[in-house]
Amino acid sequence: MIPNWLLKRAALTPHASALSFQGQTWTYLDLKEEALDRAGKLRTLGLERGSRIALLGGTSAEMALLIHGCLLAGVEMVLLNARLTVEEIEYQLNDSQSEMLVYDASFCDKAGEVDWRAIGYDELVQSQATPFQLEQEWAEDRSLTVMYTSGTTGFPKGVRQSAENHTSSALSAVLNSGLHDGDSWLHMMPLFHISGFSILARAVLYGSEVRLFEKFDAAVAAEEISSGQVSGMSVVAVTLERLLTVIENDEFTVHPKFRTLLAGGGPVPVSYLKRAEQCGLPVLQTYGMTETSSQTATLSVEDALRKSGSAGKPLFFTDIQIEGVDEPFIKGEILIKGPHVTKGYIGNHADTQALQNGWLHSGDIGYFDDEGFLFVADRRSDLIISGGENIYPAEVEAVLIEHPEILEAGVCAMPSKEWGAIPVAFVVAQSTVSEGDLRTFCATRLASYKIPKAIHFVSELPRNASNKLMRKKLRECVNGEE
C-alpha cells in the first residue's frame, strides 16, 4: 500500500511551504485544495480513474498544479516533451491512446495543428469541478506517468512508471542525501523530464519545498544558492558550467544550507568538479534513466574528485550488475534491478520485455572498480547526450531517409564544449540536395536539438560483413576532423 501522496502530506504538514513560483507561495494545504479543484474539473471532462491524458506545457505553477490534480484524480499522465514537433506529438498521442491533450497557452498554436481532442489549460481552469471520491491509497503497480524515451529502432518507447517506481526512487534518494528541516529544492528542470517530475514527487514525500522557475537562469540560481533559499538543485554538465561561471565572475558565496548539486545527463568534466570544489559547490554525480524513475546510482561529494568519472554506488533499493562479469574493471552491459525499475512499456512496444529474469538491460556499457564504484563507459554506445537531452541516432536517421533524395544515413556524436555532444549526419544522396534543405526537412519532424548540426555527403557508409552500419567508424571520422 502506498498513501495518496498529497493527501497524506497535507494531513501531516498542512502549513509547510510546498511550492513557490513567481512570488506566489502555496502551503501543502493550499496545494491540495488547488489540485483537488483541477481533479474535479478533469472529472467534468469525463475523465475517470485509470483514464490516460497527455500534458503539453512548460515549467510553471499551473503545470505543477495540473500534475498534482491528475494524481489526485487517478488520471495517468503522458508527459510530452515541449520541444517535440507536431508530428512527434501525434505519434505519442496515437501510441499512448491518450483520451485528451491538455496544453498551456504558450502551446496553443502547436496544439491547434494536432488532430486530437484537446483543451487549453485556461479553459480547463474556468470549467466547473465535479465532486468525486478520493482514493486514500494506491496499489503499488498503479501507473502514474508515461514518459517517452527514444528507442534504438528509431521509434520512441512509452515507459510506464508506477506508484512503486516513483516512491522507491524518492526513498532511495533521501537515504543517500539525507533530509533536513527547511529543505528546499531549486527547480529549473523541465517538468516533462523524469528529473523534473521526480523533484515534485520527492518534495511531497519529504514534506519539503519546491522553488520553481520557468527555465534555467544561472544568475538567478547563483542568487538562490548564495542567499540560503535552497538546499539542493539538479543540473546537467552544460548548466553546471554556466552556474560556475556566474559564481566565479560575480564572486558569489555558497550558503552553508546548500548541500546537494545533483548532476546527471552524462559525465561531468573533471575541470568542472575542481571549479565546483573551489566555489564550495557540493556536486553529486548521478546515473539514471527514464526506465529507473531517475537516480539509480549516485556519487557522494566526498568522492567526487577521488572517483572522477564515476556514477557512484547503487542506491539503497538498487542492485546493479555487469552482465557476465565478476571481476572489477571488466566492462559489460549494465543490468539494474529494484522497485524503481519500470515493469514495461505501452503502445507499439507493449510486448517488449523491459525485464529479463528481473533485470533491466540498460544497453549501457560500464564496469565497477575495486571499491564498488560504477563507471559508465558508453551511454548505450550510440546514444548522443546533448545538453542533458537524449538523442538516438536511429531516430534521426529514419527521418533523413524519408527525404526522397537520400538513400542512406548515419548519425553519430561530435564533441561540443557547450553541449557535451551534438548530432552529426553522414548521408548518401542519389542527386543534388543541400545541407540547408535537409535541415529544413528535419525541422518539420524532429525537435530542434535532434537536428544534425553538420551533414556530410559521402559515397558510401561504413558497414560490417552483415551489412550493419558501423557508427564507431563515423565517430572516428568526426574525431579525425578535430
Residue 423 has pLDDT above 80, yes or no: yes
pLDDT tens-digit readout, 14-69 = 999 999 999 999 999 999 999 999 999 999 999 999 999 999 999 999 999 999 99
Residues 6+ apart with CB under 8 A from 456: 424, 425, 426, 427, 477
> What Cα–Cα distance (Å) separates residue 243 from each residue in 59, 227, 300, 344?
19, 15, 20, 37
For residues 438 and 428, the answer to whether their CB atoms sit within 8 Å is: no
What is the C-alpha R_g of the chain? 22
CB atoms within 10 A of CB 124: 20
More confident residue, 280 or 392: 280
d(CA 10, CA 4) in angstroms, rounded, equals: 10
Which residues, including other chains, have CB under 8 Å from residue 193's CB and lie 6 or more apart? Answer: 79, 81, 147
Mean pLDDT of 176-196: 94
CATH class as words, domain 171-378: alpha beta
Q: Per-residue pLDDT for 315 more than 80?
A: yes
C-alpha cell at 302: 566526498
Length of the chain: 482
Distance, in Å, from the CA atom of 307 to the CA atom of 328, rounded to the nearest integer, reads 14
57 vs 192: CA distance, rounded Å: 8
pLDDT number for residue 466: 43
**Confidence (pLDDT) at 291:** 96
Q: What is the pLDDT of residue 379?
A: 61
Q: What angle, rounded to 10 degrees, do the helices at 194-206 and 163-177 form?
A: 70
Give the C-alpha separation, 318 to 297, whole Å.
8
- What values do phi and psi take at 22, rounded to 5? 50, 45
Q: In the Cβ-directed half-sphere of 201, how many Cα atoms lie within 13 Å?
A: 31
The structure's pTM equals: 0.85
Q: Compare 464 and 304 and report the one with higher pLDDT.
A: 304
State the span(s) of the chain assigned CATH 3.30.300.30: 384-481
What pLDDT, in 10s, does the model give residues 267-283? 787 778 889 999 999 99
Q: Which stretch of 214-218, 382-386, 421-425 has the lowest confidence by average pLDDT?
A: 382-386
Whether residue 292 contacts residue 360, with contact meaning beta carbons closer than 8 Å, is answered with yes
**Residue 301 confidence (pLDDT):** 80
CB 349 within 8 A of CB 91: no
80-116: b (≥16 Cβ within 10 Å) or e: bbbebbbebbbbbbebbebbbbbbbeebeeebeebee
**Confidence class of residue 465 from pLDDT cuts 50, 70 and 90?**
very low
pLDDT score recorded for residue 429: 93
Split at pLDDT 50, 70, 90, the class of 154 is: low
Torsion of CA 454, 460, 463, 466, to 10 degrees: 140
Give the whole-angstrom CA distance, residue 390 versus residue 450.
Answer: 9
Contact assessment for residue 342 and residue 291, using Cβ atoms and an 8 Å cutoff: yes
Helix/strand/coil (H/E/C) assignment for every residue in 193-250: CHHHHHHHHHHHHHCCEEEECCCCCHHHHHHHHHHCCCCEEEEEHHHHHHHHHHHHHC
Cβ within 8 Å of residue 17, ≥6 positions away? 25, 26, 27, 184, 209
**Across residues 179-200, what is the average pLDDT?**
95
For residue 416, pLDDT over 70 is answered with yes
Least confident among 3-17, 194-208, 429-443: 429-443
Residue range 384-481 forms a domain whose CATH class is alpha beta
Q: Tell me how far apart the alpha carbons of residues 57 and 378 are, in angstroms, rounded to a whole number.
A: 32
Range(s) within the chain of domains with CATH label 3.40.50.12780: 171-378
pLDDT of residue 390: 81
| H/E stretch holding 332 | strand 332-337
CATH number belonging to domain 2-138: 3.40.50.980
